[in-house]
Amino acid sequence: MSFDLASRLAERHAAHLFRLRPLLESPQGPEVVVDGKPLLAFCSNDYLGLASHPEVIRALQQGADRWGVGGGASHLVIGHSTPHHALEEALAEFTGRPRALLFSTGYMANLAAVTALVGQGDTVLEDRINHASLLDAGLLSGARFSRYLHNDARSLASRLDKASGNTLVVTDGVFSMDGDLADLPALCAAARQKDAWMMVDDAHGFGPLGASGGGIVEHFGLGLDDVQVLVGTLGKGFGTAGAFVAGSEELIETLIQFARPYIYTTSQPPALACATLKSLELLRREGWRREHLQRLIARFRQGASEIGLQLLDSPTPIQPILIGDSQRAMQLSALLRQRGILVGAIRPPTVPAGSARLRVTLSAAHSEAQLERLLQALAECWPLLAPEVNDA
């Protein structure tokens, strides 16, 4: 018996779900070169425009001169360098928590936190549309795993009534494909009533949200007693790479002792930690980036409404245009690309069948003129779409 990979790939092609990797031939920024063509991009998660910031680049270069390139070993062997430690301390102070722990990726941070905290005999409850890394972590933990209705505190409460053992409630802070915010005050209240812990992956909230860029927890004025496990990624609003978990002294020490994705992984390059320390400084100091981003979001939503586009309820830089079937989403993306604008089409299984969309992401690096160019292109392309058909 052999694996029939060709048939699987053919089926994905036929359903307009085949994925290709665009080849980026320039640094991150609004104006990029992809597959040899200059394009205006609205599909990066570099929300504050820090990925190519000269001060961040310089900090990376200086860090490499001082600390070399590779981490060399896991944190528990000889890979935990002074820049790693300094960044952890800075992130703990930034989030208002006793400690923070660095990870190489957000996927690893989520796997580590969930699997180290719950196991057989325990319960993990997750939002139905959580990020794949959170859902995978729940399944791999061995705990009783259940998903509550999206952003629904009553649905969560009903599942909490049936929970056993240690119970962990897990949600995204900003949902990456819809752009909406978790109703954290209500979810935290439901968890507190049943003595459950709350874990929030705020990958897309750090930077854009909160008075100082502290994300959804700062946005809602919540603290450590409300959200015991706070996860953030560094490759989005921070503009670098990696992730962290912030929480109590006991939480972080538990992850160091028991989290397999942390224990058995080489540390990230120390120079990268140097770069992130600089990006954190800029994120906190330059509030104009968040202010400009909010103006772009408001203008985009106004302009899209005037065109007649169906947007989702998002106050964040993630602005999905709901299309429906995958073929039409691909068509609109292609029409925009012909006009020099790059916006990715998001299709199943990343989103539910029948909810294919164009995922517009805005950055503080975008100018108002660039945003107007996007709106003008959308106004030209929208009437050209083929009639709607049902997803296979």
pLDDT over 80 at 389, yes or no: no
Residue where one domain finishes, among candidates 258, 285, 312 = 285
Residue 180 reports pLDDT greater than 90: yes
Residues 136-171 pLDDT 10s:
999 999 999 999 999 999 999 999 999 999 999 999
User: Catalytic one among 16, 219, 236, 278?
Assistant: 236
| Number of domains composing the chain | 2
Our answer to whether residue 162 is catalytic in this structure is: no
Angstrom distance (rounded) from CA 247 to CA 97: 5
Contacting residues for 112 by C-beta, under 8 A, at least 6 apart? 103, 245, 255, 259, 260, 261, 262
Q: Residue count of the chain, please give it.
A: 392
- Is 236 a residue of the active site? yes
Residue 296 confidence (pLDDT) above 50: yes
**107 and 249, same domain (yes or no):** yes
Q: Which amino acid is at 166?
A: N
Share of the chain above pLDDT 90, in %: 92
Query: How do residues 61-93 score in pLDDT, each as one tens digit?
Result: 999 999 999 999 999 999 999 999 999 999 999
Q: Which of 113, 22, 29, 53 is nearest to 367 (CA)?
A: 29
Structure tokens at 116: 């180290």
**3-state DSSP assignment of residue 230:** strand
Structural domain of residue 297, as residue ranges? 20-49+287-384
Say which CATH number the domain at 360 has. Answer: 3.90.1150.10
Per annotation, catalytic residue among 81, 104, 141, 176? 176
DSSP secondary structure letter of residue 228 = S
The verdict on whether 16 is a catalytic residue reads no
Residue 1: the pLDDT is 58
d(CA 306, CA 48): 27
Does the global pTM surpass 0.85? yes
Whether residues 95 and 224 fall in one domain: yes
Examine the domain organization and report whether 167 and 281 are in the same domain: yes
Asked if residues 159 and 294 have their Cβ atoms less than 8 Å apart, the reply is no
Q: Which of 204, 219, 278, 366 is catalytic?
A: 204
Specify the CATH number for the domain of residue 150: 3.40.640.10
* Same-domain pairing of 160 and 184: yes
- Categorize the per-residue pLDDT at 350 as very low, low, confident or very high, splitting at 50, 70 and 90: confident
Q: Both 82 and 189 in a single domain?
A: yes
Q: What is the mean pLDDT of the chain?
A: 96
240 and 127 housed in the same domain: yes
Residue 392: predicted pLDDT: 41
Domain boundary among 233, 268, 285: 285
Residue 347 domain flag = yes
Domain boundary among 251, 285, 319: 285
Closest by CA to 69, choosing from 256, 267, 217, is 267
